[in-house]
Amino acid sequence: MVEKPYSTYNEKDVGCKLPTGADNGFGKQGGVTMIKDRKIRVALVGLGFGAEFIPIYQAHPHAELVAICRRDKKELDACGDRYKISKRFTSYEELLLDPEIDAVHINSPIPDHGPQSLAALNAGKHVACTVPMATTKAEIKALVEAQRRTGKVYMMMETVVYAREYLFARELYEKGELGRIQFLRGSHQQDMDGWPNYWPGLPPMHYATHCVGPCLAILNKPAESVVCHGSGRIREELISKYNSPFAIETATFKVRDSDVVAEVTRSLFDTARQYRESFDVFGSRKTFEWQQVENEEPVIHTKGLPEAQIPLRTKVPDYAHLLPPEVGRFTTKGVYSKDDEQHLSFTQGGGHGGSHPHLTNAFVEAVRGTRPAFPDASASANWTLVGICAHESAMAGGTRVEIPVY
């Protein structure tokens, strides 16, 4: 086992430009204990959406999926039998006591993200967790402090910053084709009726990292303050659980050390809209706009052309070449043999832009020490806090709220 503090990393170590450098604008993810002399032993927690990652870990050349965890023993055993995983836990606490497990990938319900991630870090495990990082400022602060204290990797598994559309937009920016970034916009609209019981009435901005994350990732800078307004009203029976009345919340946030402002829109209930996660980059030379509806192509707008020629539909390439070939095959299709087996979140999101093998690979390589985690604890905290603070702003009639820095 080799130890190397992130502060010694450079672009050669990472293998690319540092959109997530050791000492980035979000803060430092402290010295991390690396594992390079063997495969990373991973346990997967939550087997609904989480099961989408099992074949990817099993195929990865530097990882092995050694355990799974689910409260329902019947479903746990069905999954374990299908993928030939012998080590199975119905108790998360028992899983964390297993010394064989190096890392946990958490796909539990939203209220469990903070407590389970914190327990795993304190148990000496590296942590990957689906979004959002946590649901309160106190939980987020505790997680940032625990990562620094334990020296373990923490990575929030934000799909959009590994989706092919985002990777394409970032590539255009890094090549200079977009010119100066002038404005950023994201949206995430979804109908959550019929989802598990912690979803009904959830404030839209409490689950906003899919649209906040890409805006901050491309600039590699954190948000410093946010203004948000709520619009419309959801059904009365939905309001009572979180005391949040708004059908849609729209926020603008200032980016630290930048003249760029970003705008994001989020809806969860009582709003007619096909599922959409989107990210637009307005540049001085070119603008990238995410497709409006499923099965369309994004649009590139080019300055200086005749008016009719400014917009052009553009086919976005796949980025499987950035991955080990063993997992690159998962960028263009799901992990199951039948389309109707995919989890609804995967189906609605158009396969999340081929992001799942990128996320898996990024986490494994962060634990190996070949690249920094992205987003790490500091960036994950900032992206999640934008949404929490945005909802505070909306509930206060649109007052500006400063984003805490932990």
Percentage of the chain modeled with pLDDT above 90: 83
Domains present along the chain, CATH in parentheses: 2-158+356-376 (3.40.50.720), 161-328+387-402 (3.30.360.10)
The Cα–Cα gap between 341 and 55 comes to 14
Locate 372 and state its tokens. Answer: 């920094």
Which strand (E) or helix (H) includes residue 128?
Answer: strand 126-129
**Three-state DSSP class for residue 395:** helix
Q: What is the model's pLDDT at position 347?
A: 42
DSSP state of 156: E
Vertex 53 angle, CA 383 and 208, to 5°: 20
Indicate the pLDDT class of residue 344, thresholds 50, 70 and 90: very low
pLDDT per residue as tens digits for the range 17-54: 333 333 344 444 445 567 888 999 999 999 988 999 99
The Cα–Cα gap between 139 and 186 comes to 26
Q: What is the model's pLDDT at position 352?
A: 76
- Packing angle, helices 113-122 and 137-150, rounded to 10: 20
Spatial neighbors of 163 by CB under 8 A, at least 6 apart, are 277, 352, 353, 354, 355
Q: What is the model's pLDDT at position 350?
A: 41
**Three-state DSSP class for residue 104:** strand
Identify whether the C-beta of residue 368 lies closer than 8 Å to the C-beta of residue 42: no
What is the DSSP secondary-structure string of 262-327?
EEEEEE-SS-----EEEEEEEESSEEEE--SSTT---EEEETTS-GGGSEEE-PPPP-GGGS-HHH
Check pLDDT > 50 for residue 2.
Answer: no
Check pLDDT > 50 for residue 1.
Answer: no
Name the average pLDDT for the chain: 89
Locate 283 and state its tokens. Answer: 């540049």
Q: What is the model's pLDDT at position 191?
A: 95
Q: What is the model's pLDDT at position 9?
A: 30
Q: What is the model's pLDDT at position 84?
A: 97
249 - beta bridge partners?
A: 230, 266
The answer for 15, left when phi > 0, alpha when psi is -120 to 50, beta otherwise, is left
pLDDT per residue as tens digits for the range 187-233: 999 999 999 899 999 999 999 999 999 999 999 999 999 999 999 99
Check pLDDT > 90 for residue 336.
Answer: no
Q: What is the model's pLDDT at position 334?
A: 57
Beta 103-106 vs 126-129: how paired, if at all?
A: parallel
What is the dihedral sign for C-alpha 236, 238, 244, 245?
negative
**Residue predicted with more confidence, 196 or 129:** 129
pLDDT per residue as tens digits for the range 255-302: 999 999 999 999 999 999 999 999 999 999 999 999 999 889 999 999
Indicate the pLDDT class of residue 15, thresholds 50, 70 and 90: very low
Spatial neighbors of 194 by CB under 8 A, at least 6 apart, are none
The Cα–Cα gap between 152 and 124 comes to 7
Helix, strand and coil in the chain, % to nearest 5? 40, 20, 40
pLDDT per residue as tens digits for the range 139-158: 999 999 999 999 999 999 99
DSSP state of 403: P
Identify whether the C-beta of residue 256 lies closer than 8 Å to the C-beta of residue 221: yes
Which strand (E) or helix (H) includes residue 300?
Answer: strand 299-302
The Cα–Cα gap between 128 and 373 comes to 10
Beta 154-156 vs 126-129: how paired, if at all?
A: parallel
